[in-house]
Amino acid sequence: MTRPIDPNRPARIGVLFVCLGNICRSPLAEGIFIHLARERGQLDRFDIDSCGTGAWHVGHDADSRSIRVAAKHGIKLVHEARQLEPHADFARYQLLLPMDRSNRRGVLAAGSRYAINPSRVRLMRSFDPAHVATADVPEVPDPYEGSDDGFERVFHMLHRACGGLLDRLAEPGGLDAIIDR
């Protein structure tokens, strides 16, 4: 279930990280983004969450390997997996950031009945400074079936992309420059 909106807070930019089961990549991206936004004194600017396109892990904690790699880098993951809720999530979040093309297709398919602007659904690594000018944006690979070192590699990919996203949102035009409105 999506987190309730606090009506006493000013409007914030909604950022939703999306992967398949919401236990590995997307909660890690959420934790990193929160951590970096807090370090920059910008946390209050954002409404941040994560979800999965599938329902396999709804109600579960993040994968223990995601929790460990986050902790190794000073980030505490507090997480309960949930599935994408198209109507509520498309209304609440301006940016939906899937980790790979398959999940991007899933988000766009779910959003088709709500006439979601496809430019709001961006691959996570499109904000990685190393790939911003690249025509073929790489995916964040799913580390679930692999070893612990896969989670470490994913952490660094997400850290760069989250930093790049925060940089882009701080530029003139911010969100409007990212989303073709």
Catalytic residue set: 19, 25, 142
- Predicted pLDDT at 2: 53
Number of domains in the chain: 1
The set of residues, in sequence order, having a beta carbon less than 8 Å from that of 83 and lying 6+ positions away, is: 22, 51, 52, 53, 54, 55, 58
- Predicted pLDDT at 61: 95
Token pair, residue 115, equals: 């006439």
Q: Is residue 176 part of a domain?
A: no
Q: Is residue 149 part of a domain?
A: yes
- Predicted pLDDT at 55: 87
Question: In sequence order, which ranges of 11-145 are alpha helices (DSSP H)?
Answer: 25-39, 64-72, 86-92, 101-111
CATH code, domain carrying 46: 3.40.50.2300
- Predicted pLDDT at 8: 52
Q: Is residue 146 part of a domain?
A: yes
The whole domain housing 57 covers 13-171
Q: Is residue 120 part of a domain?
A: yes
- Predicted pLDDT at 108: 95
User: Running along the chain, 181 residues long, what does each successive block of 10 average in pLDDT?
Assistant: 52 95 97 98 97 93 96 96 95 97 95 86 94 80 88 97 96 88 50
Q: Is residue 154 part of a domain?
A: yes
Q: Is residue 138 part of a domain?
A: yes
Q: Is residue 4 part of a domain?
A: no
Q: Is residue 137 part of a domain?
A: yes
- Predicted pLDDT at 111: 85
How do strand 46-52 and strand 95-98 relate by DSSP bridges? Answer: unpaired
With beta carbons less than 8 A apart as the criterion, state whether 84 and 51 touch: yes
Please tell me the pTM assigned to this model: 0.92
* pLDDT tens digits, 93-144: 999 999 999 999 999 999 888 888 899 999 999 999 988 666 788 999 999 9
**Residues 168, 71: Cα–Cα separation, whole Å:** 26
